[in-house]
Amino acid sequence: MRQVDHFIVGGAGGGSGRKHQIWNPSTGEVQAEVALGDAALLDKAVATAMKVQPEWAATNPQKRARVMFKFKELIEANMQELAELLSSEHGKVIDDAKGDVQRGLEVIEFACGIPQALKGEYTQGAGPGIDVYSMRQPLGIGAGITPFNFPAMIPMWMFGMAIAAGNAFVLKPSERDPSVPIRLAELFLEAGAPEGLLQVVHGDKEMVDAILDHPDIPAISFVGSSDIAHYIYQRGAQNAKRVQAFGGAKNHGIVMPDADLDQVVNDLAGAAFGSAGERCMALPVVVPVGEDTAERLKEKLIPAIHALRVGVSTDPEAHYGPVVTPEHKARVEQWITTAEEEGAEIVIDGRGFSLQGHEKGFFIGPTLIDRVTPQMKSYQEEIFGPVLQIVRANDFEDAVRLPSEHQYGNGVAIFTRNGHAAREFASRVNVGMVGINVPIPVPVSYHSFGGWKRSGFGDIDQYGMEGLKFWTKHKKITQRWPDGGGDGSNAFVIPTMG
């Protein structure tokens, strides 16, 4: 059986000896094992990072950018390999896997401009003979704890910005699909990065706690569930660390009566069911405004959802593949059962779905649930599967209130032809990222990503200039150069060669 080890300098000896199974979600078989590390192994990685980081920080930004440019080229050259490896462990189809890699690559492209991004501010004559300027300097060692659903994109969101800014980085990816992060680290080394600048350690809560408690890791970035995000934020802050911790989501798609329903249905098919719904920016709740809108939308959704093709990750015709593990399949199907028990209407039921020839795979059919209310637990919590819920709103005020009062505040979208309604909604809704006729409003790499409420803990967002702020400390210098040659006179003397 294939073994996945840590990617640290000096070998991975001294780990816990424990291992975690890696499934092939399409076949339902265990395909590999990953070694789980402990605090002693983390100490080894951090010790190496501390040795290599000062020289990297002293390397001028232009040379650091050249490494990022080369890494970008290597990612592009190995796109197919990365996508196939990702699909084999996660289950998302190849096109989705390529999108995963591409969105991470866009942040690497932004990081290639680090010389410009690191330029500070300067004020001449802030006082009599006084100038003030500022600079951004690296923190030292950054750590990233990343989820299973984007094993390429989210690690690159984190280490791309951190390393370009002059830090070393220790990555702990999900133990469910760890091979792509290892391959990224190999390519980064091939791009010319010093050995030990980017290291990968695997583990479960034991490794997470070791990272949170390590005295030589000043900053931690996390993406995962909200309960764990809250735990990481609290424990990290108690240890005087800088922490950004992004959690779950329950994104709403508001459908106004004037919306183009054909376009809405097309958008929902991808946003709700793409990647089997295992995305924090999926659109699992649609909110039609008015009963007539709800009935017309439902009538169009049913045949569109029935037309979705579920297949193995390598099927080029499939719209989405299996979910990641058997436990996750059981959890999603239980949420459908919960919604049914709560009184919701199961319009299309994906439970018990079986793919011919792959009966042991972790497949769930696309599911549509109507008559969902805000009081239902299935609405309040994140399902994270190929399930679309319809929550009917009476009017525009209802539509603003639903996402605004939900415990999560990651993303929201409104579909309308009315510019005033869209502008009003975007201004008033209590959610961190808003799409207007855009179903998955993930900002481009030179902006930033981050939700509100229980979707995000910490004050600074991912990537873009916000990401640069997170991975650097801001130093301010106030300077005055007195006239004279040091003899107390006020004569202005220009030094000469002699």
Q: Torsion over CA of 142, 86, 458 and 253, rounded to 10 degrees?
A: 160
Query: Does an H or E element contain 107, and which?
Result: helix 94-111
Q: Torsion over CA of 257, 262, 265 and 270, rounded to 10 degrees?
A: -130
How many Cα atoms are found within 13 Å in the side-chain-facing hemisphere of 269? 20
> Residue 317: is it exposed, middle or buried by C-beta count within 10 angstroms (0-12/13-18/19+)?
exposed
Amino acid at 233: Y
Residues 13, 38 contacting (CB under 8 angstroms): no
In 3-state terms, what secondary structure has residue 480?
strand
Measure the CA–CA gap between 478 and 82, rounded to whole angstroms: 48
- Residue with the two structure tokens 């990224």: 184
Query: Does an H or E element contain 291, and which?
Result: helix 291-306
Question: What sign does the dihedral 467-441-392-383 (CA atoms) show?
Answer: negative
Q: Hey, what are 380's tokens?
A: 């309040």
Residues 6+ apart with CB under 8 A from 364: 276, 310, 322, 323, 329, 332, 333, 350, 351, 353, 385, 386
Looking at residue 7, what DSSP letter applies? B
* CA-based nearest residue to 78, from 200, 168, 180: 180
Active site residue 112: no
Residues 6+ apart with CB under 8 A from 35: 3, 4, 5, 6, 12, 15, 16, 18, 19, 202
Measure the CA–CA gap between 263 and 355, rounded to whole angstroms: 29
Choose the catalytic residue: 280, 285, 305, 433.
Answer: 280
Pairing type for strands 345-348 and 242-246 reads unpaired
* CA-based nearest residue to 399, from 381, 426, 377, 417: 426
Residues 411, 438 contacting (CB under 8 angstroms): no
Return the bridge partners of 24, or none.
29
Burial letters for 323-346: b for 16+ Cβ neighbours within 10 Å, e otherwise?
bbbeebbeebbebbeebeebebeb
Left, alpha or beta for 240 (phi > 0: left; psi -120 to 50: alpha)? Answer: left
Catalytic residue annotation: 280
